[in-house]
Structure 1
Amino acid sequence: MPSEEWFAVLPDGPAALAAVCTLRPRADRIVAHDSGRPWLLGRWADGQVTVARTRKARIAVIGRCSVTAAELTALLGQVDDLAEVERVARPLAGSFHLIASVGGRVRVRGSASGVRRVFHALMDGATVASGRCDVLAAAIGAPVDEEVLVTRLLAAGAVHPVEERSTWRGVTAVPPDHCLVIEPDGRSGLRRWWTVPEPVLPLAEGAEALRQALSAAVDSCTAGGGTVSADLSGGLDSASLCFLAAHGPARLVTTHRRGADPVNSDAVWAERARAALPEAEHHSVGQEEAPLWFAGVHGPYPPLEEPGAWVRDTARLADLARRMSMAGSRLHLAGHGGDELFSVTPRYLHDLVREHPAKAPAHIHSHCIRFRQPLRPLLRALAEHTTYADWLRLAVEEMDALPTAPTEPSMAWGPALRMPPWATPEAVRTARTLFREAVAAGPEPLAPYRAQHTAVQYARTAGAAVRRIDQATTRSGLPQAAPCLDDPVMEAALSVRLHERAGRTAHKPLLTAAMDGLVPAPLLARTSKGDYSTDFYIALARHRAELLELFDGSLLAGMGLIDTSVLRAALLVPHPTPHIVTHLSQTLACETWLRSLNRPAHRPTSTPTGRAR
């Protein structure tokens, strides 16, 4: 059971008795159903849970939300059915779990981006939910699900619908767009609570909606006053958050980490932003003043909920938490999710050709000029029309193919699914089997449009990263917030027409329009983006010996999932290729996660070594 904050949600009936007996001794907080039975158990700080009660219903908001109990009670009003609960959350800003108890039935949901997730498990036949999968795993003594763990080695990380599988056997993850409904007898089922919006709003209307949503999201961070901190990388996402936060009641402290590459212009733009924020306190940290990527790979390894590629930043995050805590910060804001929601991948051209063919030629022409893309291969890619299930089926069969430089742009439903070159044949077979099972179920995409599907998938990936970063920095005394991934912000961004969200020449035209008048015009005019590949390679060179030593005693290798001789050879190449670097982050995440556990992994008997591909 983790020592930091956690909560569990119990059914309102005798079936919950075993769960109460298991969890209550480990909890220091309890909130009851109307019946008096335990509803919420766990450990959380003051102000993290807001509860409202009426004669017929109870509702709890857990997380970042400035709503008061009185305001929440007024919103709850005459709700007497679970189907009506979602309207209570409609006016709320922030990032939170929403939990309701009405007439003996319980409803639990997280956020659409997955920053807040819901997991559930059976305890003596009754469903128990939690915002953390490791809480449930500890309660039921669950082993690691090796089949799911193998898929986390993919360069793309978790992919729909396999992303919805937990790495703990016996613990089930609820899809971010679904809620869990628990009956009094402990049975449970899923209901959809969120649907990807149709991208139909014109840019001007969508910009106003985004302006209001992002302002409210940042207000939920600064409403408590005191001091908050924020990244000021030099990019538009972080700058927008800083200027919005500067208007709030909290004192603002910004931080910028200077890159090693002299041609990286982020430092110049960050300095311009600092000059326009004279009331804030600004910190700038050089390369030699703070840990690099991969520092501290030898541990110690605190309990980790699930594998996450951001484990390579463990020492950097601890350093950030220390510096900002010393500056008085109670919450740190970061721009995660901005690239995923305010930019659009070139896949929008595939959608545009079919939905608005008259508009497509101008956008195709601009794309060819902007990215120096030959027209003929682009047209070939635009003509492809496979379904999501068909794309996934083909991608799975190429899982162990050697990476090659792309000869034409990808308009596919997602990135190539590639296992690392050091994955063993058994690992590849296991991953392929699990994905084939997913394909056999006929998965639908997250949205009918490819660019929209990709945006949601990438936002979920960012949400998973933010959840793990927040757990790491909260442990060091500084919670994290990613306002760009709050539900209303995500809803506003995804509602705008794809070709207007993409723009033909402008960088992030939607965010630029939304921040007009709030962020100085010269900062909105930036069209470039900083590159940190030099920093990454410097860090890899400095910590290569530690990485080699770590994998010499690899637990993944002991499970038969990776070949350390191949991994060692890849690390010893003077300048590893980018795909090696990406794979390394995922492999490191899985390795350190296993080392943070006190229990062995489960070796599935259903996946024999000799199974055909």
Structure 2
Amino acid sequence: MAVGKPIAERIDRCSLVLAEGRTSGRVRRLTSGPRRAVLFGECPASDETLARALTEAPIPAQAVTAVGSLPGAYGVSVTDGRETAVAGDLAGLVRIWFRRDENAVACATSPIPLAAADGLRLDRDALAAWMFCSDFSGGISGRPLFKGITELSPDRMLVVRDGRASVLQRPRCRQRTDFATASAALRRALSAAVERRVTRADSVTADFSGGLDSSSLALLATRYRTTSIPALTYTDAFAANDDDTGYATRLATAAPGLRQVLIKGNARTLPFTDMISAPFTDHPSLDAVIHGRDRTRLLPATGSALHLVGDGGDVVLGAPLTYLAALARPGTLRRFARESAGWARLRHRPLHRVVRAALAAAHTSYEDTLIALAARLEKPSEAPSAGHAPAMEHSIVWSSLNQSARWGTDDARGAAADLLLGAAKDSTDADGADAHAMRAVRRHAFMTRSFVQIAEDLGVQVAAPFFDHQVIAACMRLPTAERVSVDRAKPLLASAMEGLLPAELFDRRTKGDYTACEYHGVRRNAAALRALLHESRLGDLGIIRPDLVLRELETAVDGGHAAMAGLEEVFATEVWLRNLDDPPIPATVTVTAKG
């Protein structure tokens, strides 16, 4: 989708369709002079602050930038009668889709109401691309899973002016800062993000896994509540996560403001169990695979006015391994050698392979990476032999193919390759580790968006403060290579929370591992999974070869190393396609403006 060029002309009306359950918060309307704004999501700013941002900008498009950069996580629409501008939040938790009719543009916070007007026509090629390359879930092509509509990437806005509709690039934050300044900014932003939520909520619960992200939020929340907060710790006898429960229990015992609630998993909470009962979401969701676990671990939070989750912490506070490529330059070569050696030791890989991968990434652009991926898709699938595990150095790239691509039909792989080439041609993304880190944030926000939908269906109001505008800005203004280290987990968070949270929280060097649960789940649900493949919707669409997936499934059932992430993608999509037969259409509220 070309940026800056008109995509429709003779437009006399622009409407915004707010879909129930897709805005992660309330809807606010504000009028200041001739301008009207609608904010949808979590926006705690006062009316005075919003009015100032709304009126000081010369035109509505700039007002969207000004209003949309205030604290919170929300989308915004601004109109003055002549121009209308619409955008989602910066991370992609609140997204926008639009369709063009003869004399109107309709925007929506869900693709379903827009696509339903045209019979929910599935775009088979877009689904293939979505499955084969994870960057498509970040909105790089603007092509969603339904025909007749367009997805607005989180880094863009839709502007209708003088009868013309255009997609414009949102201004990028080019301001850079040092570690101490970023740490102070993160301390303020994260503390405020938690405080404004918990002080306004009648009741609060929180995830409390024992990891850094959820534990930090739960412990911060105790500073702003006079009553104890139920802290939910999920434990599973099938998983190798004894460290999770132990750390969580020790932290909770030392925190009088927390009341730990232990939730024990069982055979009914294993992955791949009862997937068909997962709620329908706007797109295939990996949470369908773990619906039994989600349903059980969120049960104690049912009815709570606010449930804090640490989703987004890994990508906002951390960075992809491509940060090594940013260090492979004069001035930082000593640190490059130290970090590369550290990762090689940690992952038991030859150092020269890690170094070679980082140097290759340093000399490759994002556009060239997408073109190379397209070339790989155009060739016959190269399915690795059983027992093969991708080496860590293969992740030191700007983009990659998903495991499910190896099972794609030649036709579907070719169609996905064409879309990748189109995305490469139209890409406005910057090169380098910082841009790659932001793409990772958008992909993760996209996945969290469906989890928020599922949680709401279960009666749980989820909040993910790590996706707030100010939290992201505090982290992203520090260059990626300066906010991560192989020697310490999330050093920026540790620095920001010094004195607020116990030091023990940041001493942990392990992480819970649920891989064993996936294999147990495959074995216990093997018959149901085989049945899905014997009547494969993806096979009927010509996207995958079910026989190849079945072979991989049998490898997993037998206990061999399998492409588990690929299996999860396939089965989540199979379930979604079945639910698409009779999907619930969300209730909507429509706001109309002229542009």
TM-score normalized with structure 1 length? 0.84
Aligned match of 1:174: 152
Residue 482 of structure 1 and its aligned partner are, at CA, apart by 1.4
Q: What is residue 500 of structure 1 aligned with on the other side?
A: 482
Contact map agreement 2:35 2:55 (CA 8 A) in 1: no
Q: Against the structure 1 CA distance between its residues 234 and 290, is the aligned structure 2 distance closer, same or farther, given a 3 Å change threshold?
A: farther
**Partner-residue secondary structure (3-state), 1:58:** strand
CA distance in 2, matches of 1:47, 1:567: 39
Q: Does 1:465 align with 2:412?
A: no
Aligned partner of residue 275 in structure 2, secondary structure: coil
1:409 aligns with 393
Q: Cα 1:418–1:42, aligned 2, differ >3 Å: closer, same or farther?
A: closer
The Cα shift of 1:88 comes to 4.4
The answer (yes or no) to whether the contact 2:273–2:292 under 8 Å persists in 1 is: yes
Equivalent position SS for 2:504: helix
Per-residue deviation, 1:171: 0.8
Does structure 1 residue 216 correspond to structure 2 residue 192? yes
Partner of 2:170: 193
**Contact in 1 for aligned 2:322/2:397 (Cα 8 Å):** yes
Alignment RMSD (CA, Å): 2.9
Query: What whole-Å deviation, never above 9, does each CA across 1:513-553 have from its counterpart, x for those lacking one?
Result: 11111110111211222211112222222222222223322
Distance 1:406 1:586, change over 3 A: closer
User: 2 CA distance for matches of 1:298 and 1:87?
Assistant: 41
What is aligned with 1:604? none
Corresponding residue for residue 437 of structure 1: 422
CA deviation string 1:9-33 (max 9, x = no partner): xx9x9944xx9xxxxxxxxxxxxxx
Stretch of structure 1 that moved more, 328-337 or 562-571: 562-571
Is the Cα contact below 8 Å between 1:398 and 1:418 reproduced in 2? no
Match of 2:591 in 1: none
State which of 519, 539, 543 in structure 1 corresponds to 2:501.
519
Contact 1:65–1:93, Cα closer than 8 Å, also in 2: yes
| Structure 2 equivalent of residue 99 of structure 1 | 77
| Pairing of 1:287-326 with structure 2 (within 5 A) | 287-288=265-266, 291-299=269-277, 302-325=279-302
Question: Structure 1 residues 183, 284: CA separation in 2 closer, same or farther (over 3 Å shift)?
Answer: same
Question: What are the residue-to-residue correspondences of 1:360-399 with 2, within 5 Å?
Answer: 360-384=336-360, 385-399=363-377
Quote the Cα distance in structure 1 between the aligned partners of 2:505 and 2:113: 44
Q: Deviations over 1:71-91 (max 9, x none)?
A: 533553555621441464367
Report SS of the residue matched to 1:173. strand
Distance, in Å, in 2 between the alignment partners of 1:421 and 1:528 is 32
The number of equivalent residue pairs is 561
1:355 is displaced (CA, Å) by 5.7
Mean CA deviation greater in 544-553 or 81-90: 81-90
Output the CA distance in 2 between the equivalents of 1:590 and 1:171.
20
In structure 2, the partner of 1:611 is none
1:466-488 deviation per Cα after TM superposition (whole angstroms, max 9, x unaligned)? 11111111122212221112221
1:90-239 aligned at under 5 Å gives the runs 92-154=70-132, 156=134, 158=136, 162=140, 164-183=142-161, 185=163, 187-195=164-172, 197=174, 200-239=176-215
8 Å CA contact retained: 1:321, 1:477 = no
Identity rate, percent: 26
Amino acid of the structure 2 residue aligned with 1:52 = L
| Structure 2 gaps, min length 5 | 1-7, 584-595
**Cα–Cα, structure 1 residues 393 and 576, in superposed 2: closer, same or farther, change >3 Å?**
farther
Aligned partner of 2:537 in structure 1 is: 555
**Residue 39 of structure 2 contacts residue 76 of structure 2 at CA under 8 Å; is this kept in 1?**
yes
Residue 431 (structure 2) aligns with: 448
Structure 1 unmatched ranges of 5 or more: 1-10, 20-37, 601-613
Partners of 2:70 and 2:469 within 8 A in 1: no
Measure how far apart 1:316 and its partner are: 2.9
Q: What corresponds to 2:459 in structure 1?
A: 477
Matched, 1:354 2:335: no
Secondary structure, aligned partner of 1:111: coil
The answer to whether the 8 A contact 1:109-1:179 is kept is yes
- Structure 2 counterpart of 1:281, which letter? R
8 Å CA contact retained: 1:151, 1:157? no
TM-score (norm 2): 0.86
| 1:54 is the counterpart of 2:32 | yes
Equivalent in 506, 513, 532 of residue 531 of structure 1: 513
Q: With CA pairs under 8 Å and 6+ residues apart, which has the higher RCO, 1 or 2?
A: 2
Preserved contact between residue 98 and residue 110 of structure 1 (Cα < 8 Å): yes
Matched, 1:248 2:220: no
2:234 is matched with which residue? Answer: 257
Contact 1:112 1:194 in 2 (8 A): no
Amino acid at match of 1:164: G
1:14/1:379 Cα in 2 relative to 1: closer, same or farther (>3 Å)?
closer
Amino acid in the other structure paired with 1:231? D
Given residue 545 of structure 2, which amino acid in structure 1 is its aligned partner? D
Q: Quote how far apart the aligned CAs of 1:149 are.
A: 0.7
Aligned equivalents of 1:355, 1:448: Cα separation in 2 = 18
| Alpha-carbon spacing, 1:219–1:188, altered in 2? closer, same or farther (3 Å) | farther
Match of 1:342 in 2: 317
Please tell me whether residue 423 in structure 1 is matched to residue 408 in structure 2.
yes
1:442: how far off? 5.6
Distance in 2 (alpha carbons) for counterparts of 1:263 and 1:43? 36
Q: Which residue of structure 2 aligns with residue 585 of structure 1?
A: 568
| Displacement of 1:154 | 2.1
